[in-house]
Amino acid sequence: MKTDCYRAISLFSGCGGSDLGLKGGFSYLGNEYPETGIEIIHASDINQKAVDTYNHNFAHKAICADVLNLDFSTYSADILVGGFPCQNFSTVNPTKNPEDVNNQLFWELAKVTEQVLPKVVIGENVKGFYYLKKGKYFNMIKNRLEEIGYKVYSSILNSADYGIPQLRERVIIIGVRNDIQKHFVFPNKTHGPESRNKIQYTPLKAVISSLYPENKKYFFSERAVLGVKKAKPNMKRALAQDLEKPCLTITSHLAKVSLNSRDPVLLVDAEKELYRRFTPIEAAKIQSFPDTFRFVGSEADAYRQIGNAVPPVLFWHVADAIIRQLLV
């Protein structure tokens, strides 16, 4: 356990994936992720159901509030973290409208940064945020943080490279206040061919205890399978996952997963053409939530919270690197 204490403000905290990673003190697939010494002094999200889940799992409590209505001018913190909503920057969202200033919530992350002036600010978003319109939106937040007084580091991290059985790429933005005369290097990969010890990726089978769940509602109907078979060749999906490899990225609409989509599914029996979606427990494990984490609300609520979450294990590695390199 860390003895030092670092104060953190968490915006867009969702159900708490990023904050669990920030704090540490959990286990996942037999590995321990020790406490980091980070104390979260404020956590908030606009979604009440996500806040309910957050408050069920953390001793410190989040509030349900719109960041537009919050003022942090009296706060003092070492770290500010914000995984600002990403739907409008996703490469798979056909209705995205990133030009709408109401969708550009990274400005709020910058506003709070200017109010608090933390030593480190952490931003997180989908890979598309980095590439969309030749990096237009990424450069907006980068330039603003530099204007406020921060050195900006960025990298696209893949969850699979850190022992998570999911190919989930996210851009991580690290702002380091200019008076901190240290440079930041993103954490070394722990898994995959580029890892130091060449440890193999964690396979999907590590979190799938049985292909046959007790409840049959997770299986797709014969009609759904027939629909895939009749679809045009360029529309056929049924993205059955290889249990020996990491899973494709899971999303926030897991409750409505279709065989005619880009969502990953499980092929239970090829001969019988049996496909199914992931259960909420499986989805949470794919995202690296520990077994002790509980989701509040309906099953659809849980799926949405899980799909929107930041994988805790990934964020633990980021937090650990920040503390070791910048704050100690």
Question: How many Å apart are CA 137 and CA 239, to the nearest integer?
Answer: 31
* DSSP letter for each residue of 168-207: -EEEEEEEEETTS-----PPPP-SSTTSTT-PPPPPGGGG
> Which of the 8 DSSP states describes residue 100?
S
Check: CB of residue 152 under 8 Å from CB of residue 140: no
Q: Is 252 helix (H, G, I), strand (E, B) or coil?
A: coil
Catalytic residue ranges: 86
Q: Residue 192 burial (CB < 10 Å; 0-12/13-18/19+)?
A: middle
What contacts 124, CB < 8 A, 6 or more positions away? Answer: 18, 81, 82, 83, 84, 170, 171, 172, 173, 310, 315
